[in-house]
Structure 1
């Protein structure tokens, strides 16, 4: 398969992949529980969700929701921060569960973050969620203090950008850490929505906008960040994309708007939080031409939503985030194609690589 087909296929396969994942995790539940139950019983356990790029944003999406579900502190810290500043981000020497999200498991920061955590902390346990059985991170994860879970076959995306890999790892984390998402429901809603999403994204891309803003609150702020990155990646930087929180956008970042900007606002399922999302959407509709503000949400009535995923309005935002992300993936794919680019390989000159290169890992005490 060549020439911008991998990315499209990997976006489309996600409902099926999620169902396979749910079956796999259920079969592996005794081993998972044996590892995690004693750790989650520790009142002073700190959970750190880590990864680089999209994998870091997965942690940013999940951390607020998991904190609310588990009633404990959960931090999202990118490997790129852990590696450059381990003594700051791992300053508290408490029992720690480092949850590593890694598509390939070969990026230098992913490997170094695990090693530095072991060096800095007295007690560190590792949960690795990855898509590559041949990756060094997966192969290195062994022993009583570590557990590696492999995502279903096909999630080690052949396309440049992370699509099915990140949503699978997010759902795996939600499942094993106790949020208990109804993966079958999520997959069914996603499968129903995909054809319409593809059409809507193509229409949007045909308008030729070259500046996009994604906004959201709480877990959906992390989703907005990942959405903006998808567009930036697949258009090789030819489309300017920006993200912020719904409340934070007014505090200076709103300067990015021009009359041709498209703004996409994720609407929270939480009734209180949703008010702030709707406020900024109304404000943007007064600032921008008609049709350039798109709201994306899950309420059954869909009255306030331009693009809707009905049937999921009762679920926490972190749980529905993998489904909402389908919208951003399709916008990025369609915009890339409209520009005449190859979404599977938007950087044929290798200015940016699928697995990061050029990183030097320095010894901590150099």
Structure 2
């Protein structure tokens, strides 16, 4: 096997990082597979969605737990604009804890469930609660595991449709990488419409990042930061939250990470800054939103060393900085699409921070304190 992310397979195997590295590196290929699936069109999925999307009163709820919840957070703003309707991102953990509040309006609802394994208790229970609470509820399940409980429960229901991602997207590593970006892309193309050209542009940009940025990520990890702040506005706030989770997971909490929007960061969270803090700022492609991202970058450069600030942007015309990570050829794409190559930057940073701290990225919790598929949550029946 050739080098992965500039690292030799034998080294990655010894360090417990081979699966995670392979799954980060494979993303452009996985995206192209998903793009072909969308273009060739799953007739059953299209037939299922068409009459629902024609209903002006339909509410779309995007749900999942942890990283899968952030899939919905990334997609919801873009789909609201594209579809011109109400699209909400509500985590399964919130639905299970308080279904009557999450579905207080008894309106026709399409629940789109995102799940890598489909075996976590909340992933299975949230759709059942939605069906119990709502008069009219349909289910689109987007999952990477055809053997998961979620896929099995909805395989033959007339009010459900299962969209299965390529097998490679079912990450073996602890942290979701290609499963996250694969589900974002599948959701974007399924609900927003297929776009072969966009998929190719995203894959090409990701290949460039994977070829040029691993060394920079390793250099950041070698500096000994104990805190990382990820900033993203609008759609990219969901990317920031996913990025922070990757660092926490892959380092087993040894590096503490925080996610905020550019504007909200001033309202208290800015207190986290010290001489051991790295800040990574995602710049929106939206001309209005990006003004706030740039204002925050300018403000940060007045109070922290330039080497402690990484900017991730699709705008190649920005002032040249060593720590400006440009996503080539993507300055005009929607932020939900920009999210895919952007989050690869965070995946690389999380991987190298984990290695620098002596962790094992494929399984950062060998003692089982935290599990790949959540365990221990008791699902209580809803009595009305």
TM-score bracket for the superposition, by shorter chain length: over 0.9
| From 349, 363, 366, the counterpart of 1:331 | 349
SS of residue matched to 1:154: helix
Q: Considering only aligned residues, what root-mean-square deviation do their CA atoms show, in Å?
A: 1.3
Does 347-356 or 20-29 show the bigger shift?
A: 20-29
2:318 and 2:178 map into 1 onto residues whose CA distance is 26
Give the corresponding residue for 1:117.
130
1:40 and 1:245 map into 2 onto residues whose CA distance is 31
Q: Is the 8 A contact 1:69 1:179 kept in 2?
A: no
Give the corresponding residue for 2:167.
153
Q: Is the 8 A contact 2:39 2:194 kept in 1?
A: no
Are 1:208 and 2:224 matched, yes or no?
A: yes
Give the corresponding residue for 2:54.
41
Q: Is the 8 A contact 2:209 2:345 kept in 1?
A: no
Give the corresponding residue for 2:311.
295
Q: Is the 8 A contact 1:66 1:179 kept in 2?
A: no
Question: How many residues in Structure 1 have an aligned counterpart in Structure 2?
Answer: 366
Please give the residue correspondences for 1:152-231 in structure 2 after superposition, counting only pairs within 5 Å. Answer: 152-181=166-195, 182-231=198-247
Please give the residue correspondences for 1:1-366 in structure 2 after superposition, counting only pairs within 5 Å. Answer: 2=13, 3-141=16-154, 142-181=156-195, 182-303=198-319, 306-365=324-383
Uncovered stretches (5+) of structure 2, i.e. residues with no partner = 1-8
**Residues 131-169 of structure 1, C-alpha deviation per residue, up to 9 Å, x if partnerless?**
011101111112221110111111111100000001001
Q: Is the 8 A contact 1:104 1:355 kept in 2?
A: yes
Q: Is the 8 A contact 1:125 1:146 kept in 2?
A: yes
Cα offset, 1:24, TM superposition: 1.9
Cα offset, 1:304, TM superposition: 6.2
Cα offset, 1:302, TM superposition: 4.1
2:254 and 2:75 map into 1 onto residues whose CA distance is 29
Uncovered stretches (5+) of structure 1, i.e. residues with no partner = none
Q: Is the 8 A contact 2:28 2:207 kept in 1?
A: yes
SS of residue matched to 1:291: helix
Give the corresponding residue for 2:3.
none
1:191 and 1:338 map into 2 onto residues whose CA distance is 24
Does 8-17 or 286-295 show the bigger shift?
A: 286-295
**Residues 158-187 of structure 1, C-alpha deviation per residue, up to 9 Å, x if partnerless?**
100000001001100000102544112111
SS of residue matched to 2:113: strand
**Residues 214-242 of structure 1, C-alpha deviation per residue, up to 9 Å, x if partnerless?**
00100101110000000010000000100
2:209 and 2:274 map into 1 onto residues whose CA distance is 30
Q: State TM-score, norm by structure 2.
A: 0.93
1:103 and 1:159 map into 2 onto residues whose CA distance is 11
SS of residue matched to 1:52: coil
1:145 and 1:28 map into 2 onto residues whose CA distance is 20
Specify whether residues 81 and 158 from structure 1 end up closer, same or farther in structure 2 by C-alpha distance, changes over 3 A only. same
Q: Is the 8 A contact 1:302 1:308 kept in 2?
A: no
Cα offset, 1:301, TM superposition: 2.1
1:179 and 1:251 map into 2 onto residues whose CA distance is 38
Cα offset, 1:342, TM superposition: 0.6
Cα offset, 1:290, TM superposition: 2.6
